[in-house]
Structures are given as C-alpha cells and as structure tokens.
Amino acid sequence: MRHADALPRYLGVLLALNVTFLLVSDFTGSRIIAIFGIGVSVTVFYFPLTYLIGDVLTEVYGYARARRVIWISMFCSVAGSGIAKAQLLVPAANFFTYDPAFQHIFSPGVKVSIAGLVAFFAGDICNSYVLAKMKIWDQGKRLWARFVFSTLVGEGVNTALFYGIALRGVLPGDLLLRGIAVGWTIKVLVEIAMLPVSYRVVRWLKQAENLDYYDYDTNFNPFILR
C-alpha cells in the first residue's frame, strides 16, 4: 500500500463535496419541516452526506486527513457565512422588492451560527474518532458496523448540540426532545440506506489510491490542524 503521506488524487474532490453540503446546510439548517407532526431541520435529508464523506475519508485516508478536512470545512463555513452577512451591508436597488427576504434568510442569529459550528465540529470529530478506533479493534473487518456505529455516535452528538443550542427556547421541551430523536434516527437511516454506495466508493478509492490507512500511531488531538 502507498504511504499515507503520498499525495492522494481524490482527497480534494471529497473535500469539495464536504464543503458544499456543509455550506448548503448552514443556510438551510434553520428551516423546520414536519415529519409525523414533529419539527426537524430540513437538513436531515442531505447533511448526513457529510458523515458519509467523513466515513470514507477516515476509512481510506485516516483520521488525520479527515480531521484536516473538518477544519478546512469549518473555515470555509465561517468565510461563507461572513461573506453572506457582509453582502447585506450593500444597499439594494430601490426597485428590488425582495431585499427584506434576503435580509431575513442571510441574517442567521449568532446562536444558530455557533450551534452549527459547534455541532459540526464535535459530531464529525466523534464520528472519525470512533471509526478509526473501531477499524483497529476489529482489524478492518465489518465495515458496515463501524460506518453505522460511528454515525450513530457522531450524528447523535451533532443533533443534540445543534437542537440544544439553536432551538432551545424556540421549541417546547417535549417537542425539542422528540425533534432530536427523529432527526437523529433519520440521519442514521440515511447512512444505513447508503451503505451499498459507501462500500463501492470505499472499495474503489482504496484501489485507486492504493491506500488503506490504519491509525496505529495517530495523535487523535482534535485541535491539531495538520
């Protein structure tokens, strides 16, 4: 197998996809839809794809590279939110009647923005950590088990933090808890439904990159940027 320090060919593609889904989730995360009468963020349908990408990154390239992608994605999220906020400072044309809608959509509260960043970072780090450790403990067997269990942990942390910070006081306590439970469940079900795709992507990437990394000597400190 090729050494992990060799330049990977497809890491940039996965990074770009991760940033894309994160930015879309940033600007749509506060939109609440009803599933079985319970309010959940519309992002339950596509934010789980960031966890699928995180699983693939950790499984093929290792925890350290996945951690780097998480940090880069966070920086892009902050930059994107900052630009979206700054563009509102430019006065709209007098004949542009939709400016109030833009002002509303692109002016997320500080609490929501902080909730999104904290939830994304903590959830993704937990997801990658659990997967990397399980890969070592299980000697690379049962890919499905570490994909599902790492998502169960990571999405649980993410959903609880985001709802707990962003929507506390917005939704009544019982609805908030039910929203966390439903959102968490749907995200895990998306991961399970995507397992056939995940298996094929992982198998193809390992062959294309000639790489299957095990984190035996990895420093798992989440605040290291390299």
Domains and CATH numbers, the chain: 11-93+100-209 (1.10.1760)
Per-residue pLDDT at 67: 97
Q: How far is CA 138 from CA 59, 92, 118, 142, 213, in A?
A: 13, 58, 30, 7, 14
Residues 6+ apart with CB under 8 A from 118: 161, 162, 165
Per-residue pLDDT at 4: 47
Per-residue pLDDT at 183: 85
Per-residue pLDDT at 170: 64
Per-residue pLDDT at 64: 96
Quick: pLDDT tens for 163-202. 888 777 666 677 788 888 988 998 899 999 999 999 999 9
Q: Are 67 and 223 in contact (CB under 8 A)?
A: no
Per-residue pLDDT at 193: 94
Per-residue pLDDT at 109: 64
DSSP 206: H
Rounded to a whole number of angstroms, the distance between the first and last alpha carbons of the chain is 22
Question: Three-state DSSP class for 7?
Answer: coil
Which tokens go with 112? 């929501």
- Give the amino acid at 83: I
Total-model pTM: 0.89
Question: Residue 206 and residue 201: Cα distance in Å, rounded?
Answer: 9
Per-residue pLDDT at 13: 96
Counting as low any pLDDT under 50, the low residues of the chain are 1-4
- Give the amino acid at 20: T
Q: Quick count: other Cβ atoms within 10 Å of Cβ 118?
A: 17
